[in-house]
Amino acid sequence: MTAFKTFAVALNGLDGHLIEVEAAVTSQLPGMVIIGLPDTALSEAKQRIKVACHHSGIKLAPRFITLNLSPAELPKNGSGFDLAMAVVATAASGHLNHKSISRAVHIGELGLDGQVRRTRGVLPAVLAAKKSGLSAVLVPSSCLAEAQLVKGIQIVPVATLGEAVAWHRGDFAPHLQQIVEHNTPRTEAEEDMSDVVGNEEAIYALTVAAVGAHHVSMIGPPGTGKSMLARRLPSILPDLDDKDAVEVTSLASVSSSKAIAGLIRRPPIQSPHHSITPAAMVGSGSRRFAPGVISLASRGVLFLDEAPEFRTAALETLRQPLEDGSISLRRANLHIEMPAKFLLIMASNPCPCGFAGSMKKSCTCRGSDLVRYRNRLSGPLLDRVDVHLDIERVAQIWRPLMADDEKGVQGSAAIRARVAGARQRTKKRLRGTPWSSNGEVAGSWLRHPSNIPNPAVMAPIDNAFSKAQLSMRGVDRTLRVAWSLADLEHLPRPSKTNVLMALKLRIGES
Amino acid sequence: MQANLQQRKNSRKLKLGRLGEDLAVKHIEAAGWKVVERNWRHPLGELDIIALDGRTAVAIEVKTRSSEDYGTPLEAITQEKLQRLRKLVLEWNHRTKPNVLAIRVDAIAVLVRPGTNPVIDHLKALS
């Protein structure tokens, strides 16, 4: 008795693990068993494999076939192992060369007619296949473009089990003509900042937030354009670099039931409804994991409209990701690490009726309602927000502090270019440190004698700190924003105006 | 008319089964085994062939098919069927007290495709 083997990939979040799929034929009555911690969908595979082989003209050995998936302790789920199991069963039945299959990875679900279908997460699976160092990966032909985003491993698109078997025999040359467009243009046109009228100061604040990835909270009466601004925030973020683009595209691949057409270069935005559960926020499912909105918003924007209406539990799940840029989940059968590096932007009304502090209309809320409403956003959460915008009031307060070229409406493309320029200056300045954006820099670096602005420039911050308007963390966060302002204005280090502006953004009003 | 058709179908099935069993007997006799019983009947069921492989008594279940469109012939032997065969061969042993050292159950699949030579697949010692 010989055991034949080939490979498949099990996904744990975005991490792909190479799975060895073995088959052995033993002299017992015909039958098939799958061992190695399969879930129900995977155990059902034996029916699909039998019928698909029959319809592809493959005669499985009329004996007992044992399929083993190892390492056995790793939970495996879904139908993505079908192709690997069918191929190795074919080999064990004496119809295929052992050499070819033992160097290939197989990804795909089988239809009863032998068709190879897409399963979720083809891109991260192909990435794992490449890392394994094996020579080829067979993918459903509908996912050729998605698989071809990975370079450095031979991609073999197959439409049917028959084609896969033929390829291993050397009788099938796959069609590879599908052209991959690397810079996929935006699928739907992003909305443009130039649509926003009369909120240049708020746009400026968002520009600063975009430079350093500083989190934003906007407060304002209904109809002042909070949602309009937030929805346009992704349009001023620069294109994703290669690494981030692969991450964002992998997340899309895992959560989408359709094949991915090309690399996603534009930052995503997620704007969940305020009824969202904590599980939907962080990611759900203990066997087959579905990424949460914080992961889907990674490298992009997470917009919480009507933030105080969200459940406290859902909001508090944001704390760890805001600090670490990732989320670590542990459930019954699951230990998963997912990216969650997003720019948070929250919009809220100043009070339940929406008009507290408004100059146009008087507020009808009771004092106690007002307190309860404001307390819904916890201190620890708000403390992680660097840019506090009072949308109705920004005009009078900030205009004098803004550089001249900021005054006047600009389109998203122009702003995006300036953000990209500022980010480049940040990166250059931070070369040799572990950080690449102002939002990430550690307090020790900010307060280091060679980096801290001189006492005259620091005066407003020191003053605010001594008046207890700023916490120690608040001082650091204000400095980070001041650096973003300096980078935006081509300054080698923050000026006093930058510090004043950062302070205003931090405290909200003065 | 209907009943007639059914009868004819049944008789064709019986003929095919009989043909398969004959071929199976030839096959094991060619291997040097000695056939001691054919179609041994009992209230629990029937043993197609009982043969001696040296000093081992072997009950052989024969499955005959004219095509593989609906799976291989051996697939038709379920675990329940196998249990029944085991019980039957013990029963046969009890009644006839043959002078053997061991007993076991084998299966022989016979594929009789019209126009081709029959194919015989002998699976020994079912477990």
| pLDDT computed for residue A364 by the predictor | 85
Chain A, chain B: beta-carbon pairs less than 8 Å apart:
26
Q: Residue written as tokens 């600063």?
A: A208
> What angle is formed at CA A106 by the lines to CA A100 and CA A109, rounded to 5 degrees?
140
Which tokens is B101 given? 């050292």
| pLDDT computed for residue A181 by the predictor | 52
Q: Residue-wise over A80-93: b if at least 16 C-beta within 10 A, else e? A: bbbbbbbbbbbbbb
| pLDDT computed for residue A187 by the predictor | 45
Domain boundaries, chain A: 3-169
End-to-end CA distance of chain B: 44
Q: How far apart are CA A163 and CA A108, in angstroms?
A: 13
Q: Edge to edge, what strands does the sheet with A216-219 contain?
A: A269-270, A301-305, A343-348, A216-219, A387-390
The reply to whether residue B124 touches residue A62, judged by beta carbons under 8 angstroms, is no
Side chain identity at A181, as an amino acid letter?
E
The reply to whether residue A63 touches residue B75, judged by beta carbons under 8 angstroms, is no
Q: Is the pLDDT of residue B123 over 80?
A: yes
The reply to whether residue B109 touches residue A28, judged by beta carbons under 8 angstroms, is no
How close A29 gets to chain B, by Cα (Å)? 6
CA dihedral of residues A242, A246, A252, A256 (deg, nearest 10): 130
β-strand A31-35 against A64-70: which pairing, if any? parallel
> What angle is formed at CA A205 by the lines to CA A203 and CA A209, rounded to 5 degrees?
110
Task: Give chain A positions within 8 Å (CB) of B127.
Answer: 28
CATH 3.30.230.10 assigned to A3-169:
yes
- Which residue does chain B place closest to A62, by CA atoms? B72
Q: Residue written as tokens 């500022």?
A: A422
How close B62 gets to chain A, by Cα (Å)? 13
The reply to whether residue B107 touches residue A29, judged by beta carbons under 8 angstroms, is yes
Contact B117, B96 (CB under 8 A): no
Task: Give chain A positions within 8 Å (CB) of B124.
Answer: 27
The reply to whether residue A62 touches residue B126, judged by beta carbons under 8 angstroms, is no
- Which residue does chain B place closest to A64, by CA atoms? B75
The reply to whether residue B68 touches residue A28, judged by beta carbons under 8 angstroms, is no
The reply to whether residue A29 touches residue B71, judged by beta carbons under 8 angstroms, is no
B37-92, pLDDT tens digit by residue?
999 999 999 999 999 999 999 999 999 999 888 878 898 899 899 999 999 999 99
Domains with residue ranges and CATH for chain B: 2-123 (3.40.1350.10)
Task: Give chain B positions within 8 Å (CB) of A29.
Answer: 74-75, 77, 82, 107, 123, 126
**Interface residues on B facing A, Cβ-Cβ cutoff 8 A:** 68, 71-75, 77, 82, 107, 109, 121, 123-127
Q: How far is CA A429 from the centre of its chain?
A: 26
The total of other beta-carbon atoms located within 10 Å of residue A25's CB is: 20
Contact A457, A496 (CB under 8 A): yes
The total of other beta-carbon atoms located within 10 Å of residue A468's CB is: 8
| pLDDT computed for residue A4 by the predictor | 93
Task: Give chain B positions within 8 Å (CB) of A28.
Answer: 123, 126-127
| pLDDT computed for residue A111 by the predictor | 95
Q: How far apart are CA A265 and CA A246, in angstroms?
A: 9
β-strand A216-219 against A343-348: which pairing, if any? parallel
Backbone angles phi, psi at B123, to 5 degrees: -105, 120
CA nearest to A107, candidates A124, A90, A91:
A124
CA nearest to A150, candidates A141, A137, A159, A163:
A137
User: Measuring CA to CA, how many Å separate A54 from each of A322, A439, B68, B114?
Assistant: 53, 59, 10, 21
CA dihedral of residues A70, A76, A77, A80 (deg, nearest 10): -40
Q: How far apart are CA A251 and CA A267, in angstroms?
A: 12
Q: How far apart are CA A260 and CA A245, in angstroms?
A: 13
- Which residue does chain A place closest to B69, by CA atoms? A54
How close B29 gets to chain A, by Cα (Å)? 22
3-state secondary structure A318-346: CHHHHHHCEEEEEECCEEEEEECCCEEEE
- DSSP E strands: which ranges in A58-149? 64-70, 104-106, 109-110, 116-117, 136-140
Per-residue model confidence as pLDDT tens for chain A (510 residues): 578 999 999 998 899 999 999 999 998 899 999 998 788 878 889 999 999 999 999 999 999 999 999 998 887 877 899 999 999 999 999 999 888 999 999 999 999 999 999 999 999 999 999 999 999 999 999 999 999 999 999 999 999 999 999 999 998 888 776 555 555 554 456 788 888 877 888 899 999 999 999 999 998 888 888 999 999 999 999 999 999 999 999 999 998 888 888 899 999 999 999 999 999 999 988 777 889 999 999 999 999 999 999 999 999 999 989 988 899 988 877 788 999 999 999 999 888 888 877 777 788 888 888 888 888 888 888 888 889 888 876 555 555 566 555 555 678 889 999 999 999 999 999 998 988 889 888 888 998 988 888 898 999 999 988 988 888 888 999 999 999 999 999 999 999 999 999 998 888 654
Interface test with B, best of A25, A26, A29, A51 (most B CBs within 10 A): A29
Interface test with A, best of B65, B75, B82 (most A CBs within 10 A): B75
